[in-house]
């Protein structure tokens, strides 16, 4: 008697799983927005439009940037981590007011970091970095020529931040950004109107030494440069100045 062979049915293919879409939308938009708020506050500090001890009210900032208090709180936490903002329990967040001792410590830290940064930049032999720094100097000179003090002050600090970026160490770049900002706050805080920016030729002389790969000379020049800035401060606190937060944070 013939045996009927039972052929197993082919297993039905499992439905292909749909690939999860990349996380975008609100998350990405949140990062972009927080970065924009951070950049706007930092620029206002560097341009001396947000002086030390200015209170950063979460509700007001949220309204100014059309966002939530949670987003603003994240930005303020980042700025506090970098020392640019001081958070006082039950009082809120304030732009930092470096004391005379803290100001000296800022310059001590910069004297340790920046000579190493210029040596690393020279070792990288990056013509694009030199060209970028020359653009910053040209913009600084143009601001000085039109007597645009806020832009001149910001670009003076930005030169040192860009130098750190091009040196290639992200940790020191982050430190340099905070130190340059605290330097601007110290200049604003203490009654030294002649110290609102670096001496007009010192960035150019320093960059020339970097371009010629004269590492020892460049390291010496950056130390002299920092010493000149610190020596120009009299370290006497300035009286409190009321600030219109909305006006200070307007885009320029």
Spell out the per-residue pLDDT of the chain, length 252, in tens.
454 544 444 444 444 444 444 433 444 578 889 999 999 999 999 888 998 999 999 999 999 999 999 999 999 999 999 999 999 999 999 999 999 999 999 999 999 999 999 999 999 999 999 999 999 999 999 999 998 988 888 899 999 999 999 999 989 998 999 999 999 898 888 855 555 446 678 999 999 999 999 999 999 999 999 999 998 888 755 556 677 788 888 777
Q: Is residue 87 domain-shared with residue 149, that is, in the same domain? A: no
Residue 13 lies in a domain: no
Q: Is residue 74 domain-shared with residue 159, that is, in the same domain? A: no
Q: Is residue 54 domain-shared with residue 104, that is, in the same domain? A: no
Residue 248 lies in a domain: no
Q: Is residue 59 domain-shared with residue 144, that is, in the same domain? A: no
Q: Is residue 113 domain-shared with residue 81, that is, in the same domain? A: no
Residue 237 lies in a domain: no
| Closest C-alpha among 128, 130, 124 to residue 204 | 130
Q: Is residue 85 domain-shared with residue 107, that is, in the same domain? A: no
Q: Which domain holds residue 86?
A: 30-96
Residue 8 lies in a domain: no
For the chain, where are the alpha helices, taking DSSP H only?
26-46, 58-64, 69-81, 100-124, 127-145, 149-167, 170-189, 202-211, 215-231, 245-248
Domain count, the chain: 2
Indicate which CATH number applies to the domain containing 58.
1.10.10.10
Q: Is residue 209 domain-shared with residue 163, that is, in the same domain? A: yes
């Amino acid at each position: 008697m013939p045996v009927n062979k039972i052929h197993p049915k082919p297993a039905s293919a499992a439905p292909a799983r749909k690939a999860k879409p990349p996380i975008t939308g609100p998350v990405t938009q949140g990062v972009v927005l927080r970065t924009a708020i951070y950049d706007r506050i930092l620029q206002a500090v560097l341009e001396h439009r947000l002086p030390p001890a200015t209170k950063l009210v979460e509700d007001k900032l949220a309204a100014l940037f059309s966002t939530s208090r949670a987003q603003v709180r994240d930005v303020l936490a980042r700025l506090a981590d970098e020392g640019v903002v001081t958070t006082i329990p039950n009082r809120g967040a304030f732009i930092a007011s470096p004391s005379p001792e803290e100001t000296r410590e800022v310059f001590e830290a910069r004297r340790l970091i920046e000579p190493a940064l210029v040596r690393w930049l020279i070792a990288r032999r990056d013509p694009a970095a030199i060209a970028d720094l020359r653009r910053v100097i040209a913009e600084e000179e143009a601001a000085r020529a039109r007597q645009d003090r806020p832009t001149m002050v910001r670009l003076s600090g930005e030169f040192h931040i860009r130098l750190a970026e091009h040196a290639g160490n992200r940790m020191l770049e982050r430190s340099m950004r905070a130190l340059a900002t605290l330097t601007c706050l110290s200049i604003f805080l203490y009654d030294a109107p002649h110290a609102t920016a670096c001496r007009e030729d010192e960035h150019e002389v320093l960059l020339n030494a970097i371009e010629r790969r004269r590492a020892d000379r460049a390291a010496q020049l950056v130390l002299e440069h920092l010493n000149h800035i610190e020596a120009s401060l009299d370290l006497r606190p300035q009286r409190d100045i009321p600030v219109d937060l909305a006006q200070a944070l307007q885009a320029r």
